[in-house]
Amino acid sequence: MATENVTIFRTVLRIPWHILLVAGVLVTVGAAALYSASEGSWTPWAGKHAVRGAVGAAMVLVLAFVDFRILRIWAYPVYLLSIVVLIVLLGIGGGGGVARWIHIGGFTFQPSEPTKIAVLLALARYFDSQPLDKMRSILTYLPPLVMIAVPFILVVEQPDLGTALALALGSLTLLFVAGLPWRYILVSFIGLVAAVPVLWSQLHPYQKTRVMTFLDPEADKLGAGYQITQSKIALGSGGLFGKGFLMGSQSQLNYLPEKQTDFVFTMIGEEFGLVGNMFILGLYLLLIGSVLGISYRVSSRFAQLTCIGVAMMLFLYVFVNVAMVTGLLPVVGAPLPLISYGGTAMLTVFLGLGVVASAVVHDRPAVE
């Protein structure tokens, strides 16, 4: 009994509490923003967001007690399960309809989000099992490319191009970190550029409209360009310190669309100004930097790659959303992690942080 108590105590001490603290602050900011988005009410968004944040924090603590070697063992089965779920999802939404969510009772679940974690774990296990002398061969990278391509294609078919690109970019980062030679990266880039006309022809009409609106949002201010135009107005009107909590005219008068999800960063900018936005970005920088720092403290290659993958996933969430609402990228429907309303995306982030917590607790250098 005494030995078990000592083990539990050591585990608790090793949990990266600073990461949970930063995540908790972001969830709190999100709850306050959603409270404002609903004009000073905890319903329908803020209350649920806070509850999901508490559930997510509990997930991190539970995963911290799970031996990281178990996650390695289950990496491939979890990946295969995620592929099966994506295939079944396409069947549910047959006939060319949108198939992104699974509805169970009163809950709505988007499988493509946790698939990001499944792919990262599978890739990390694959590269962990490869001898270093094979990392210069292109043949070594063919299996992981297939592992990325399969879920990418399935998510594109939903259709959900934004999530598919985030999944692909985050996963491809692991190939680079694992040792992919620069010459292969250069050839791939040239091939991607050459394939742009083909990729353009495969886009859905609404996706082409988003790209054209991104290139010239002024062309249709009241139509396709309405969202980004209102977003820029809200951000600009916030100035340095903002208009004050619950005082944002663009959001409170419902000129700003999707203020509880995709454009929550804009609403925060209107109410708290540039200072508020910079505070949010500073928190994300601290969170991502902390996860990257943990990648240097763990011992196995599997743990290192997993932590880097989670950090990249977080970075893409933030970068795509902020670039989207400021007009630097087309509007693709990307949430701001831990702040936007949306259960699956939030729990996916907490799942990733839980995996990192397991790594830092159990995958430690032998000298410790």
Per-residue pLDDT tens digits for 192-233: 677 667 666 666 676 666 666 666 565 556 556 677 888 888
Residue 230 belongs to some domain of the structure = yes
- pTM of the full predicted structure? 0.89
pLDDT surpasses 70 at 289: yes
Residue 115 belongs to some domain of the structure = yes
The residues, ordered by sequence, that sit 6+ positions from 38 with a Cβ below 8 Å of its Cβ are 44, 45, 46, 260
Residue 199 belongs to some domain of the structure = yes
pLDDT of residue 96: 44
Residue 368 belongs to some domain of the structure = no
Where is pLDDT greater, at 358 or 96? 358
pLDDT of residue 156: 83
Structure tokens at 99: 């198939």
Where is pLDDT greater, at 367 or 212? 212
Per-residue pLDDT tens digits for 35-45: 988 888 888 88
Residue 107 belongs to some domain of the structure = yes
pLDDT of residue 232: 83
Per-residue pLDDT tens digits for 111-133: 888 999 999 999 999 999 888 87
> What is the rounded average pLDDT of the residues 15-42?
91
Per-residue pLDDT band at 94 (split at 50, 70, 90):
very low
Q: State the Cα–Cα distance between residues 334 and 127, nearest whole angstrom.
A: 29
pLDDT of residue 7: 67
Query: Can you give the residue range of the structural domain that contains 183?
Result: 2-362
Residue 367 belongs to some domain of the structure = no
pLDDT of residue 327: 82
Q: State the Cα–Cα distance between residues 293 and 39, nearest whole angstrom.
A: 39
What's the distance, CA 77 to chain centroid?
22
Residue 274 belongs to some domain of the structure = yes
Per-residue pLDDT tens digits for 48-88: 999 999 999 999 999 999 989 899 999 999 999 999 988 88
Q: State the Cα–Cα distance between residues 318 and 35, nearest whole angstrom.
A: 21
Write the burial class of residue 367 (CB in 10 Å: 0-12 exposed, 13-18 middle, 19+ buried): exposed
pLDDT of residue 126: 94
Per-residue pLDDT tens digits for 157-179: 877 777 888 888 888 888 888 88
How many domains does the chain contain in total?
1
Where is pLDDT greater, at 133 or 7? 133
Residue pointed to by tokens 């105590």: 9
Question: Rg for the chain (alpha carbons), in Å?
Answer: 21
- Asked whether 306 and 232 are in contact (CB, 8 A), the reply is no
Of 177, 180, 173, 189, the residue nearest 312 (C-alpha): 173
pLDDT surpasses 50 at 25: yes
pLDDT of residue 259: 79
Structure tokens at 260: 């509880």
Where is pLDDT greater, at 255 or 310? 310
pLDDT surpasses 50 at 335: yes
Where is pLDDT greater, at 328 or 201? 328
Per-residue pLDDT band at 98 (split at 50, 70, 90):
low
Residue 213 belongs to some domain of the structure = yes
pLDDT of residue 101: 73
Counting residues of the chain whose pLDDT is more than 70, the rounded percentage is: 84
Where is pLDDT greater, at 214 or 334? 334
Counting residues of the chain whose pLDDT is more than 90, the rounded percentage is: 38
pLDDT surpasses 70 at 365: no
